A and B are shown apart, each in its own frame.
Chain A
Amino acid sequence: MSLTQTSTGRAIRLEGISKTWGDTRALHDVSIDIPAGSFTALLGPSGCGKSTLLRIVSGLEQASGGRVLIGGQDVSQMPADKRELSMVFQSYALFPHLSVAENITFGLRTRKVPRDERAKRLDRVADLLGLGDYLSRKPAELSGGQQQRVALGRAVIAERPVCLMDEPLSNLDAKLRQTMRTELRALQRELGFTMIYVTHDQVEAITMADQVVLMNGGKVEQAASPRALYERPATPFAARFIGTPPMNVIPATALGEAGAKLQAQAGRRLLAGLRPEALHPCADSALRLSVTGAEYLGADALVQGRLGVAQVVLRAPGHALPAPGETIPLALAPRDLHLFDAETGGRIPPSDPASLLVQAGIPAGPTGAAAPFIQHEDH
């Protein structure tokens, strides 16, 4: 069923947003482009400024600098209630004294939507979210998941072109979170609004979003599709943040001869990034891992070891666990080697790593497996 024929998402553009509170600098020159009708996740560790950015978009907080554009219009000075957006809070922020129906239609009442129109829309939203049986209950008489749906209902009933969500699933248990992820994504596609979704959970961001904005310390580390974020991380931080277990980021010299050559070619010190799933045991290689431990996970295992002096982890099949003390030769496909400038942290496209690695005696093996949660399609 379609709830909205009229409303479609609006593009959002953030230009050089900064925010300071006295001496603390929460956001620093953040610029993001969010296409109309897309699902954008703001991802990052705790305290990196995700909520602050979302509140600046909503108008609940004023930026110290920069501009917010919604649908091409500069709304930086516009109060929250004029920006035509809805918001789901982490704590849901349901009105405890109002029934579910009153909570959902709160915004329609403040905007003077006639009574029969309100009832019609409430019916549809209650249907869509499966809340029909709870409309007369108070929020305190609902489970966490039901409360969450009420908050969603309040956000979507007004059919606003933009919806903001601040960690809406973080209070739910793992199983419910999984279901709600799918439902939320489906709802967003169906209604077609532009979504900005704050989360600190990389799985949530990567499974739901069209675009992931990875933030760190008040700055944007990388804004890209989930796939690009995984396959071409722009910084060592992005490389370590996405993927479980995280990418091994080690000094290039730990790769032996090949690393030395790469550095000589680039003319500066480099960091090499190797995904645990990109390293494969093989018959013979110049790249040799001395195993220090292993963690059996069933289908596969995580093997810890050392390349030169650097600690690395690799994902190996669960049936052939190496013992500590063993040395295993490793294959590495050139396209799975990520290089970063050791000083600036910028990504460096390797000039011709294929020949370099082979010359140095590192076979290619199969190219790196994707993280288990990303569907791999050919391109």
Chain B
Amino acid sequence: MQKRQWIHGWLLVLPAMVFLLLFTHVPALTTIWNSFFSTPRGRRPSRFVGLDNYDRLFDDPVFWKVLGNNLWFALGTIPVSIALAIVMALFVNRAFTGRSLVRMAYFTPTVLPLIAVANIWLFFYTPGFGLIDQLLGAMGFGQTNLLGSPDTALAAIMAVTIWKEAGFFMIFYLAALQSIPPQLTEAARIEGADGWTIFRRVTFPLLMPTTLFVSINAVINSFRLVDHIFILTNGGPDNASSLLLFYIYETSFRYWDTAYGATLTVVMLALLCLLAIGQFFFFDRKVHYK
């Protein structure tokens, strides 16, 4: 009887497990495996090269460049989009006419496909004719090329990402805000707390689980979202706006250097794992779960 239940249990888990193994774990392991081999070229089959690929990675200036870009990208987009999300959620959590319209407006960038978003922003950024240049021109400033100059390309991409992510995170914060009993803020008000004190000492601490969840998602997204780079800059100029995943794509599928692509992927996976684990430990002390 015991044993039959045991088998039954495994049978139930089996379909999900097969798919998970087949499409997640096996490819991940294959990637790690591939990173120890050379890329097959023409008639030359791949052969075991040990840590050669990793050696090459350490000496690759482009790798360090895109890694640095990714770091700036994460640092620049995550705090801003989270802060923006909280502000927007606090704003639409109050009662006012047209509230659902505003909520929807905030959420629209999330619903749009990233490619469409990128096209919209391409229109904003277009030198000479774009919205930004038209506005600047009206104020008497000269022409800009935000996407085309190495100094501003990454920042321009970051603006698009923040615009897209903040609305998405707002939904989580809005849900969390609505689960906070209004008596808590009322009690705080009676105890003499002003709006900022209530936010700092009551609302924000109670939003911590959401902040943890959102920030892990944001970190993963900062490594994952590259669609708009294809449209807006293609990683240029001179890799100024290229991110790690975009570099992996270029290496593997444009130059077909699959072994090196695998190596880069392994590094990125390791990085993501470390970040997620670190975040859990860091936040665990500060998060109050109900």
Inter-chain CA distance A80–B202, complex, in Å, is: 17
Contact of A86 among B190, B197, B290 (CB under 8 A): B190
Interface centre among B184, B192, B205, B290 (most CB of A within 10 A): B192
Kindly supply a per-residue 1/0 record for chain B positions 197-221, scoring 1 wherever the CB is within 8 Å of any chain A CB and 0 otherwise.
1000110011010000000000000
Q: Once bound together, how far apart are the Cα atoms of A91 and B208, in whole Å?
A: 23
Identify the stretch in A103-111, A221-229, A292-300 within 8 Å (CB) of chain B at 4 or more residues.
A103-111
In the complex, which residues of chain A have a beta carbon less than 8 angstroms from the beta carbon of B288?
96-97, 138
With A93-B181, A96-B290 as known contacts, state yes or no: A87 contacts B192, CB within 8 Å.
no
**Contact with B187, one of A87, A97, A111 (Cβ below 8 angstroms):** A87
Instruction: Tell me whether B193 is interfacial, beta carbon within 8 Å.
Output: yes
What are the residues of chain A within 8 A of B187 when measuring CB–CB?
Answer: 87, 89, 93, 95, 154
A81 to B184, CA, bound (A): 14
Chain B residues, CB < 8 A from A80: 186, 189-190
Q: Which residues in A have their C-beta under 8 angstroms from that of B184?
A: 93, 95
Query: A50-86 vs B: 1/0 string, CB under 8 Å?
Result: 0000000010100000000000000000011100011
Q: How far is the CB of B94 from the nearest CB of chain A, in Å?
A: 15
Q: In angstroms, how far is the closest chain B Cβ from the Cβ of A47?
A: 19
* Shortest distance between the CB of B63 and any CB in chain A (Å): 42
**Distance from A167 Cβ to chain B, minimum over Cβ atoms (Å):** 13
A81: contacting residue among B181, B192, B208, B290, CB under 8 A: B192
**A60-B189, A140-B290 known; 5 other A-B pairs, CB under 8 Å?**
A81-B193, A86-B190, A97-B208, A110-B197, A111-B191
Chain B interface size, as a band, is: 20 to 34
Of chain A, the residue at the smallest CB distance from B180 is: A96
Cβ 8 A contact of B189, one of A81, A154, A158? A81
Shortest 5 CB-CB distances between A and B: which pairs? Answer: A107-B191, A97-B288, A93-B183, A93-B187, A81-B192
Query: Could you say which of A89, A95, A107 has the most chain B C-beta atoms within 10 Å of its C-beta?
Result: A95
With A93-B184, A96-B290, A97-B288 as contacts: A81 and B190 at CB distance below 8 Å: yes
User: With the chains together, A81 CA to B201 CA distance in Å?
Assistant: 16
B194 on the A face (CB < 8 A) = yes
Q: Which residues of A contact B176 (CB under 8 A)?
A: none
Determine the chain A residues whose CB is within 8 A of the CB of B193 once the complex forms: 81, 106, 110
- Enumerate chain B residues within 8 angstroms of A107, measured Cβ to Cβ: 190-192
Return the contact of A87 from the options B190, B202, B208 (Cβ within 8 A).
B190
Interface size on A, as a range, is 20 to 34
Interface residues of B (CB under 8 A from A): 181, 183-184, 186-194, 197, 201-202, 205-206, 208, 288, 290
Distance between B284 CB and nearest chain A CB, rounded to angstroms = 14
Greatest chain B CB density within 10 A among A86, A106, A138 is at A106
| Residue interface mask A109-121, B partner, CB < 8 A = 1 | 0110000000000
Q: Is the Cβ of B205 less than 8 Å from the Cβ of A97?
A: yes
Residues of B contacting A89 in the complex (Cβ-Cβ under 8 angstroms): 183, 186-187
Interfacial chain B residues near A58, Cβ < 8 Å: 190
Contact of A85 with B190 at beta-carbon distance under 8 Å, contacts A93-B184, A97-B206 already known:
yes
Q: Contacting B192 at CB < 8 Å: which of A60, A96, A110?
A: A110
Q: In the complex, are the beta carbons of A111 and B190 less than 8 A apart?
A: no
Shortest CB distance A230–B (Å)? 34
Q: What CA separation (Å) do A93 and B205 show in the bound complex?
A: 15
Closest chain A residue to B189, Cβ basis: A80
Map CB proximity to B onto A157-177 as digits: 1 under 8 Å, 0 otherwise. Answer: 010000000000000000000
In the bound complex, what is the Cα–Cα distance between A85 and B191 (angstroms)? 8
Q: List 17 A-B contacts (CB under 8 A).
A: A58-B190, A79-B189, A85-B190, A87-B186, A87-B187, A93-B186, A95-B184, A95-B187, A95-B188, A97-B205, A106-B188, A106-B193, A107-B190, A110-B193, A111-B191, A154-B187, A158-B191
Give CA–CA (A110, B194) in the complex, Å: 8
Q: Are A111 and B181 in contact (CB under 8 A)?
A: no
Q: Which B residue's beta carbon lies closest to that of A109?
A: B201
Q: Which residues of A contact B205 (CB under 8 A)?
A: 97
Residues of A within 8 A of B186 (CB): 60, 80, 87, 89, 93
Chain B residues positioned under 8 Å from A79 (CB to CB): 189
Q: How far is the CA of A89 from the CA of B191 in the complex (A)?
A: 13
